[in-house]
Amino acid sequence: MQPKIVLVETSHPGNIGASARALKTMGLSSLALVRPQSFPDPVAFARASGAAEVLENAQRCDDLAQAVADCQRVVGVTARDRRLSAPVLSPKQLMQELNAHYAGVQTAFVFGRERNGLTNEEIDKCHSVCTIPANPDYASLNLAAAVQIICYEWYLAQLQFAGASEQKSPAIAPAGEIEGFYQQLWQVLEAIDFLDSANPIPLMRKVRRLYDRTELTSAEINILRGILTSITKSID
């Protein structure tokens, strides 16, 4: 299954167009734009250079959660050292993992702002992090160049795994369902005074990673949310 490329709050329309061209050259077409500063824009279509249909069919989203709601694996692409608990992979390692364990799963590759990339809160919504190896003294790639590298590595991996026996895709719940569970869990943990109200994010970040490793199905999400609903009723 083709991955979705998600661009968050892109400031320059030329980068949107160049990214669309990068997708098409590697046989991809699914592009989502989260609050772009200028789109549609003639500069974007000029830079797309023959990939106008990718832009015309691009999904416009109000936030990252909406853009990845239908995806079962979400990968944040960043050059910054976050020291977070999400697994950090190189592009090759990432593609090997996806092909080995998540063939046929809807995946999103998420790219942040040109100036400062993705926020920690946005990374929290990702199952893993991909960092493109580069000069440690100057590792900041142009946005469209980073998109091209990821799309290229995805394309190479498809060639490498072509003809391999098709694996049954795990029935992982889409990100939209999982995010709804996390929001309900947060509310319940606050209600029972389990979270530190002054600094709840570190614990919730660890809880997210704990559940992400289990690869919850939709049925399991429904069970967990039912338990949370019962807890809420018991404390009202």
- All structural domains of the chain with their residue ranges: 4-161, 175-235
- Phi, psi at 36, each rounded to 5°: -65, 145
- Token pair belonging to 148: 């091209």
Q: Range with the lowest mean pLDDT among 1-5, 27-31, 169-173, 185-189?
A: 169-173
Mean pLDDT of 152-162: 91
Burial class (CB in 10 A: 0-12, 13-18, 19+), 192: exposed
The pLDDT value recorded for residue 42 is 97
Domain 175-235 has CATH 1.20.58.220: no
Say how far apart CA 115 and CA 126 lie, in whole Å. Answer: 20
Q: How confident is residue 162, by pLDDT bands cut at 50, 70 and 90? A: confident
> Are residues 108 and 214 in contact, defined by beta-carbon separation less than 8 angstroms?
no
> Are residues 178 and 216 in contact, defined by beta-carbon separation less than 8 angstroms?
yes
For the chain, the average pLDDT equals 92
- Phi, psi at 88, each rounded to 5°: -110, 125
Q: Range with the lowest mean pLDDT among 19-23, 31-35, 101-105?
A: 101-105
pTM: 0.89
- Is pLDDT at 83 greater than 70 in this prediction? no
Q: How confident is residue 1, by pLDDT bands cut at 50, 70 and 90? A: confident
Asked if the domains at 4-161 and 175-235 fall in one CATH topology, the answer is no
- Token pair belonging to 170: 């795990």
Task: Express the helix, strand and coil content of the chain in percent, nearest 5 each.
Answer: 50, 10, 40
| Superfamily of the domain at 4-161 | SPOUT methyltransferase, trefoil knot domain (3.40.1280.10)
